[in-house]
Amino acid sequence: MKQYTVAALPGEGIGLEVVEATLTILQKVAAKHNFSLQINYGEIGQAALEKYGSYFPEATSQICDRSDGILFGAVNKGGLLELRQQFEFFANLRPVKTHPSLKSERGFSAIDILFVRELVSGIYFGASGRGEDERGNFGYHTMHYYDWQIERIAKIALEKAKQRKGLLTVAHKENALPHLPWKKLVLEVAREYPEVTVEPMLVDNLAMQLVIQPQHFDVIVAGNLFGDILSDLGGALVGSVGLLGSASLNESGFGLYEPIHGTAPDIAGKDIANPLGTFASAIMMLEQWGEHEAAKDWQQSWDAILTEGYRTQDLYFHDSEILINTSELVQLFLRKLNSSFIKKKSNTLT
């Protein structure tokens, strides 16, 4: 029996709830598909600062280093950027896809977009600070990229586009930021991918086009800041940011798996957080491990539950739907997984 080690970093706010819900389902899926899990918890964020004096302490880093994947919840301020940089999780994959039942109820277009976001450089990691001159106090953050960092994420995005519909949109702002030549560098790398059509687009126009005609897009590659904002817009396109998960991978394929939402302190502890984004992230982790049947099984349970009309508070739209809380949703998934196991076993016997 294969065994995988998971570093669980719930963090703060609803991160605590969605990670625990996900681990409950993950353990069920593992037992059903004949692999085992070792779960090691680590502190990150405010709790880590209070306990260790650091948002991302060495103890947590070591837990992550000894794992096959990191399942992350949410933090309000510190720890996440340090975690991403520590393990060079440069390639952030954020799928945005409509579910058929949500599409029909709300009139959404059929959307299937993969955002490929560069994650360890750009404005979040450039020189920054506060200063003062004769005009007053000021602050600054520097958007810094090496050409090789842009080329590296371009290759990931081009590979993904090659495997999908063959269209890669490049988010850039070269008219105002000419020294960050995303358009030029991605087009140069794309010479090695003649089957992919590359479509450079100014990021402000891209944001507008995502609202007007989201079904046009396939893969979108973007820097850290633009990718962060555009992929969050994707949550509105499919029903809720609570639906969206992500995988952040380094060169070796080691990954960090996290929902794209924040800590949501206004609903934390009320048993109403949507764990589906964390479920989606865990499904991506299973895929990365090669546990494709387990990932498919979990996804089928997800599809069945949404099709039957069950909704967490952020997805609840009208009275014909069934409003449920976080713990009820977890129990639904457990029952679905168990019933599909019984059905599969019965079919095997016959």
Give the catalytic positions in this structure. 124, 173, 204, 228, 232
What are the residues facing 197 on neighbouring strands? 167
| Integer Cα distance of 9 and 258 in angstroms | 10
84/258 Cα distance (integer angstroms): 11
Half-sphere exposure of 70 (CA within 13 A, CB side): 31
Write out the DSSP string of 40-80: EE---THHHHHHHSSSS-HHHHHHHHTSSEEEEEE-SSSSH
CA distance 202 to 200: 7
Structure tokens at 48: 């880590």
Number of other residues whose CB lies within 10 A of the CB of residue 222: 27
3-state DSSP call for residue 127? coil
Contact by Cβ (8 Å): 258, 72: yes
Cα end-to-end span (Å), the chain: 26
